A = this chain, B = another copy of it.
């Protein structure tokens, strides 16, 4: 990827991911049209593609660090990481579909469009989510197609990393805690303090964001030290992303965000601004980004777009 600016890189990566998603998602007669249509409605709803972009950017950064020593094969790493990038976006999309359901957050609007269950009904929405979930893992097991033992080992490692991040220990567990905090689970509603909020988000959004970057590094053949550094980087970027999401929810207008702004406050959900105030929340996000950037310097993974992505996460307006 010979991008000359972050905007250029983001555009190229988004197109690459969208084209691959279109290619990977099954169509009739392989699957019923209603499942294919419903999955595509949500997958191509205009998401930011933060997670797959992190995967490709991490793979690219690791390759650039390696290329200093081994000048051949530039650009190969992002192709190796593309299936993982798409699988993670499928999992992220399934989680949005399920979270939007009336039984969970009951959101009727996302990115300016009616949510999937509003259009297709709750039953098909649950199934479209389940379909994307299964398809993500099938894709990881299938692509990149290679009998090479090294690539096969990387694929299995990525499968475990993404599975752990998506499952009960990660995203699913975080959403369950969120439901408990909202009083939507049996027993008395749990109350989240700052530490509890952070622990909830570490599971609900942080785990998959970390897995996104780590998967790219693994597919690019990074050493354990580099993988760990990319993981720390993504932990901070993920936290900053969540804090900024909370801030935008308070500040945002419905038109700009394409979802009902101020919804968290209306639901009395704990957020960073509600627990720490807007100013402290902004400081916290900035500290995360500074730490993430320092991690890249310390690990000498400075070539590529990871640094610029960390900055973008806090300056974005939607």
Query: How far apart are A2's CB and chain B's nearest CB, in angstroms?
Result: 33
Residue ID in chain B nearest A94 by CB atoms = B130
* Interface flag for A15 (CB, 8 Å): no
* Interface flag for A62 (CB, 8 Å): no
Is A138 a contact partner of B123 (Cβ separation < 8 A)? Answer: no
Is A124 a contact partner of B35 (Cβ separation < 8 A)? Answer: no
Give per-residue flags for A76-103: 1 if the beta carbon is below 8 A from chain B beta carbons, else 0.
Answer: 0000000000000000001100100101
Task: Choose the segment among A65-73, A151-159, A308-316 that binds chain B (4+ C-beta atoms closer than 8 Å).
Answer: A151-159
* Interface flag for A131 (CB, 8 Å): yes
Query: How far apart are A106's CB and chain B's nearest CB, in angstroms?
Result: 10
Select which of B141, B153, B156, B167 is within 8 A of A134 by beta carbon.
B167
Q: Which size bracket describes the interface of A in this complex?
A: 35 or more
Question: B residues within 8 A CB of A26?
Answer: 167-169
Docked Cα-Cα span, A97 to B180, in Å, equals: 19
* Interface flag for A61 (CB, 8 Å): no
Residue ID in chain B nearest A149 by CB atoms = B149
Select which of B30, B142, B147, B184 is within 8 A of A169 by beta carbon.
B30
Query: How far apart are A83's CB and chain B's nearest CB, in angstroms?
Result: 13
Question: B residues within 8 A CB of A172?
Answer: 31, 35, 127, 130-131, 134
Docked Cα-Cα span, A94 to B137, in Å, equals: 16
Is A168 a contact partner of B123 (Cβ separation < 8 A)? Answer: no
* Interface flag for A297 (CB, 8 Å): no
* Interface flag for A175 (CB, 8 Å): yes
Question: B residues within 8 A CB of A173?
Answer: 31-32, 35, 131
Select which of B121, B135, B184 is within 8 A of A167 by beta carbon.
B135
Select which of B103, B140, B147, B168 is within 8 A of A36 by beta carbon.
B168
Is A34 a contact partner of B176 (Cβ separation < 8 A)? Answer: yes
Query: How far apart are A183's CB and chain B's nearest CB, in angstroms?
Result: 10
Is A184 a contact partner of B141 (Cβ separation < 8 A)? Answer: no
Is B131 a contact partner of A180 (Cβ separation < 8 A)? Answer: no
Select which of B32, B138, B149 is within 8 A of A163 by beta carbon.
B138
Residue ID in chain B nearest A153 by CB atoms = B152
Query: How far apart are A165's CB and chain B's nearest CB, in angstroms?
Result: 9
* Interface flag for A299 (CB, 8 Å): no
Is A186 a contact partner of B30 (Cβ separation < 8 A)? Answer: no
Could you tell me which A residues sit within 8 Å of B by CB distance? Answer: 26, 30-32, 34-36, 39, 94-95, 98, 101, 103-104, 119-127, 129-131, 133-135, 137-138, 140-142, 147, 149, 152-153, 155-156, 159-160, 163-164, 166-169, 172-173, 175-177, 179-180, 184-186
Could you list 6 A-B pairs, sorted by A, with CB under 8 Å? A34-B186, A94-B130, A131-B173, A138-B160, A138-B167, A141-B163
| Besides A31-B167, A32-B180, A121-B185, 11 other A-B contacts (C-beta < 8 A) | A26-B167, A101-B126, A103-B125, A123-B179, A124-B185, A130-B133, A134-B168, A138-B160, A141-B156, A147-B153, A155-B156
| The 5 A-B residue pairs with the shortest CB-CB distance in the complex, in nearest-first order | A138-B163, A134-B167, A103-B122, A31-B168, A141-B159
